[in-house]
Structure 1
């Protein structure tokens, strides 16, 4: 499957910075490449030199930047290196000390400056090397390349004799447009996992008849898509022969298998044909990090801060079908191995890290039920719709974003209409340390009570389905806010825009815990009044199995009454008496006009606005009466004048 390289990287230019010890031939190398002849005289440091787009097949122009290695220019050198797309690091073939300086100074300096650009090591002045001490380039560079993996390739050249001068900057350009590092592990000589996953997805997309092999017709369609040229029958036979000679299971009676497909790409890379694999990846939408490029993940929706994305019924049905397909033993649970297989065409499994890793109920072996599987997707759609869409595409969803998502109505509109049509609610869980927040979240996932206390140090999300009495299914996301982070969160005036309901958990046996929760409730109320993103709130009296402190029930009821919200919900996770608390949270979220707390300042402002509006109404009515009276008088006067 050979083919021409592609400019799908969409670069407008590549900046190559040439560095190395003094008198190693940096300026002569640049001048010879640009003029295609050896300069008689060359200034110490050349200005930036441009190689035009048609200089190399990839049709991307290069800007070659010469540098000085003097101490007084180290600051400028560092600036240039940080702007580099590729670095050409030179030594002089006739000066062994400059070769030694690569590993004793220059490569360490690039690491110190955290330069991530690929490095091309170039031995200049090849024509001046003493043949008596000649060693192969491989012998010289193998130990250095073993230590410094950032070296992409090594080459020797002679600017004076124009030997391999153009090749130096061709390799530099190639290292940028077709880098080795994302595709291939040089140490193990194998394709990297993300590359394997991307190529597997491409294979699956090309396997139109889904028989786990690419037949001749499918191979030809793949070749045309990627390289704009069909394969001749003899070429297809040759491709299969090469694979089968090296890998017995690379080809079967139906065609080229996934194993053979991956082998071919590893073979191309080993032979230096990285542009072939990169062309394939870019034709299927992958960027330099082997993820789908942003262009392919565009979600053409505009939403305000108080709107969410939710999965459509079409997307949910697709996900149910995917679950069924990968549930090989049909036990209603995706085991870890089945989940890995499901996401084997994605860059990585998206639920291995926070906030998704510990967000749903799992089996003791880490498996996921259908409900937990769908909940993970709903959480990802709520928090990061672009990532959700990307992963839908990775696992085979073949439709556009509008078929996968819909935008919910604004929360402010829901309050005015006094109802909401959302299927997913996000609840912020506030409360002081040791109040019982984490225990409440764990109980939502059906986990047993534990006496062991470990404070939550960062935001934690859990998500589950809440079945309402009317038989409707709602998904509730509980977002625990550690006490230490509440102030930071509320300092952002827009932070409550994403919240459907806030709950305040306190230890019902601890007076301080109630006071602290009351303060947090007031903070949320004030922030809601100032920002316009007021949210319904609910007080939760946790640890109800413990004796309440004197006046505890009375004090908490008064706080709720004064703030205009429902009386506290008493729960005891230890005694398994949760008092339908999660249904109650959903009920509060479903009536966004109720249970919105008010501070005294907020009530006074609302009263003032009502009085002003009422006064304006009276003034308007009085003015209207006056206008009508004046009009009637004018009509009477006109009639009187006419009759006289």
Structure 2
């Protein structure tokens, strides 16, 4: 990418014209009899930007516009200053010192003897010093040694290009006749700002694999209708993104004809293609590389935030965002819209679910399904249809779960997947920090009105029914077979609150990590509520909760909680513990246990609603805190805010359903 300043080390044998080239560049004319070594010379961007832009714009590429790159786009990558460092071959110590500080080497020769010295002395010496810098090879004094031949592709350069990969470019120049002096200077800059070595293998004559992979990803993201071709509208959108101007239809048609001539050299193939295919797009960029249009390729790649190493820029993948530890992060309306559009786009058969092949296609421009999803046992963490395919409901829930647990993963994948509304930060929104108060010598949480995603830990004795509760939450049914939970299990789903309002609830069973998590204050701070469960048909089940709460009293008491008596469809047993559940909860000044059965859908819904109520109005569910009469207006306000926060979700889902029916 661009940098503030680059250092060009001008080196070569004595009397090849190094100092004369520098003076001709700076003064714009030939100056005879100058000193043998010039002091460092700094050249500003403004001095040569117009000239360099003209060089780029006039770069000879058949079938493309001479103004493909605008002044604004080119000047973005021209460094603010360039420092030219003159050297003397006899001063080996000074030369080595400058080489270690340089960014690019301008290596000059002027006759057959100094040409031979390039391969016999200079390049081996650079390698022996461990200097890993791009080299621009300059055949100077071409007015006296080569007549009118100033071609940059002479056979003289080919052996050196094939032998030394460090050589980025070759040029013939003459300081006396002012031939290619500025061009040579520009090539030194271009070796840093638009290097050819990462994208093109000159020996093999092909784009390098990393460049092909990057360009394929660009093609995939630009192929909006996923038909395998870039039509004119898609090509023009890419052109605008890369070069800040729309493409002319004539230019597009010329590219199609150029590709036809290369692919079908012996036949007439005009107007038979619906657009530029992926192979054609790769071939087009190969042609650009062969004809010296590195800037065009880099213009495309950099508009998609690729660095010189052909990796995506970390600042693009992980934009800086400040999140208060007491806040949470959720999808914004823009984020919901992007995710809904993505689902619709890749649900090719319009069956309302993403199959494995459709998911694989969707995640093509990414490193694959996020590791966080695999850790959450995706897709068992969300709602799927009867075929096991991810539904839109489950898709949105999974991204809410991801954003809640690790918003950096969401930011990263928004970038990979082509979120194009500016920074990926726009797809997220940060909730207000959760505040705390102290009353009756007890710290408790303030009500929250701007959150639509809530996290709840499900805690209880083994075999109390925690896993069945999670299965019923997602699927509406459960398995009779008991399987102990070893690793933590998490799932997410949208639920409907009173009055039709919607939010997302994340339920988390802690497994064998229960003790470690309950001892971790930061994890408990992220938890919105805890659901304490026991088996109402097992007389020993509730004592587990009494012992657990006693053990972690200092950390658990601040978190709002709900008690649930599971398996309520079975015969209720008197608990053999120190105290009965109803008396225990009454002494804690919280609601009595809800009697829940996976066979009773109404009871399940009531439990999930009560969990959200505890999360939004913590004072009503904080153990040991005496209740005060609720402010009716506050309760109204809470529901209004929750409803407003989910309008965008419901609107987007309704829009998706309407679009499917319309098809």
Task: Kindly indicate whether structure 1 or structure 2 has the higher relative contact order, using CA contacts under 8 Å at least 6 residues apart.
Answer: 2
Aligned with residue 353 of structure 2, among 310, 319, 333: 333
Contact residue 269 and residue 277 of structure 1 kept, 8 A: yes
The residue matched to 1:593 in structure 2 has which SS?
helix
Cα distance change, pair 63–403 in 1 and its aligned pair in 2 (3 A): closer
Contact residue 260 and residue 269 of structure 2 kept, 8 A: yes
Contact residue 432 and residue 483 of structure 1 kept, 8 A: no
Moved more, 119-128 or 192-201: 119-128
Contact residue 331 and residue 429 of structure 2 kept, 8 A: yes
TM-score of the superposed pair, with normalisation by structure 2: 0.57
The residue matched to 1:329 in structure 2 has which SS?
coil
Cα distance change, pair 489–252 in 1 and its aligned pair in 2 (3 A): farther
Matched, 1:170 2:163: no
Matched, 1:204 2:224: yes
The residue that corresponds to 2:7 in the other structure is 16
**CA shift digits 1:442-468 (9 cap, x unpaired):** 997679888688667xxx864334566
Matched, 1:536 2:556: no
Contact residue 327 and residue 434 of structure 2 kept, 8 A: yes
Where does structure 2 lack aligned partners over 5 or more consecutive residues?
Answer: 54-73, 109-113, 147-153, 438-443, 568-574, 626-663
Superposition map of 1:419-434 within 5 A: 420=449, 422-427=451-456
The residue matched to 2:619 in structure 1 has which SS?
coil
The residue that corresponds to 1:377 in the other structure is 399
**CA shift digits 1:312-344 (9 cap, x unpaired):** 678657744653443233433212321243455
TM-score of the superposed pair, with normalisation by structure 1: 0.58
Contact residue 305 and residue 312 of structure 2 kept, 8 A: yes
Contact residue 518 and residue 559 of structure 1 kept, 8 A: no
Superposition map of 1:388-399 within 5 A: 391=414
Aligned with residue 81 of structure 2, among 39, 42, 62: 62
Contact residue 400 and residue 453 of structure 2 kept, 8 A: yes
The residue matched to 1:192 in structure 2 has which SS?
helix
In structure 2, C-alpha distance between the alignment counterparts of 1:200 and 1:316, rounded to whole Å: 22
C-alpha deviation, 1:198, in angstroms:
2.5
Cα distance change, pair 254–519 in 1 and its aligned pair in 2 (3 A): same
C-alpha deviation, 1:268, in angstroms:
1.8
Superposition map of 1:263-342 within 5 A: 263-280=283-300, 286=305, 288=307, 306-308=326-328, 310-311=330-331, 316=336, 319-320=339-340, 322-342=342-362
Cα distance change, pair 185–394 in 1 and its aligned pair in 2 (3 A): farther
C-alpha deviation, 1:73, in angstroms:
11
Matched, 1:88 2:105: yes
The residue that corresponds to 1:41 in the other structure is 35
Superposition map of 1:410-449 within 5 A: 411-412=434-435, 420=449, 422-427=451-456
Superposition map of 1:163-562 within 5 A: 166-180=182-196, 189=207, 191-202=211-222, 204=224, 214-215=231-232, 226=243, 228=245, 231=248, 233=250, 237-247=253-263, 252-253=271-272, 255-259=274-278, 260-280=280-300, 286=305, 288=307, 306-308=326-328, 310-311=330-331, 316=336, 319-320=339-340, 322-343=342-363, 347-348=365-366, 351-354=369-372, 358=376, 360-362=378-380, 367-382=389-404, 383-384=406-407, 387=410, 391=414, 408=431, 411-412=434-435, 420=449, 422-427=451-456, 462-466=491-495, 473-478=502-507, 490=521, 498-502=526-530, 520=552, 522-523=554-555, 535-537=559-561, 553-554=577-578
The RMSD of aligned alpha carbons is: 6.6
**CA shift digits 1:86-118 (9 cap, x unpaired):** 4438698526244224444415xx5xxxxxxxx
The residue matched to 2:614 in structure 1 has which SS?
helix
Superposition map of 1:118-157 within 5 A: 119-123=133-137, 136-142=156-162, 144-145=164-165, 151=166, 153-155=168-170
In structure 2, C-alpha distance between the alignment counterparts of 1:175 and 1:429, rounded to whole Å: 59
C-alpha deviation, 1:366, in angstroms:
8.1
C-alpha deviation, 1:536, in angstroms:
2.0
Contact residue 491 and residue 506 of structure 2 kept, 8 A: yes
Cα distance change, pair 515–229 in 1 and its aligned pair in 2 (3 A): closer
Contact residue 327 and residue 431 of structure 2 kept, 8 A: yes
Aligned with residue 46 of structure 2, among 32, 48, 53: 53
Cα distance change, pair 213–157 in 1 and its aligned pair in 2 (3 A): closer
The residue matched to 2:255 in structure 1 has which SS?
helix
In structure 1, C-alpha distance between the alignment counterparts of 2:387 and 2:9, rounded to whole Å: 54
The residue that corresponds to 2:61 in the other structure is none
Matched, 1:100 2:124: yes
The residue that corresponds to 1:628 in the other structure is none
In structure 2, C-alpha distance between the alignment counterparts of 1:63 and 1:431, rounded to whole Å: 68
In structure 2, C-alpha distance between the alignment counterparts of 1:485 and 1:30, rounded to whole Å: 68
**CA shift digits 1:470-526 (9 cap, x unpaired):** 876542235688679759964x7xx7665423568999999999877755552465x
Where does structure 1 lack aligned partners over 5 or more consecutive residues?
Answer: 1-8, 111-118, 146-150, 526-533, 544-550, 604-644
In structure 2, C-alpha distance between the alignment counterparts of 1:519 and 1:183, rounded to whole Å: 61
C-alpha deviation, 1:365, in angstroms:
9.7
In structure 1, C-alpha distance between the alignment counterparts of 2:485 and 2:163, rounded to whole Å: 52
The residue matched to 1:339 in structure 2 has which SS?
helix
Give the total of aligned pairs.
Answer: 534
**CA shift digits 1:161-209 (9 cap, x unpaired):** 888664454234324433457766887636533333334434539x9xx
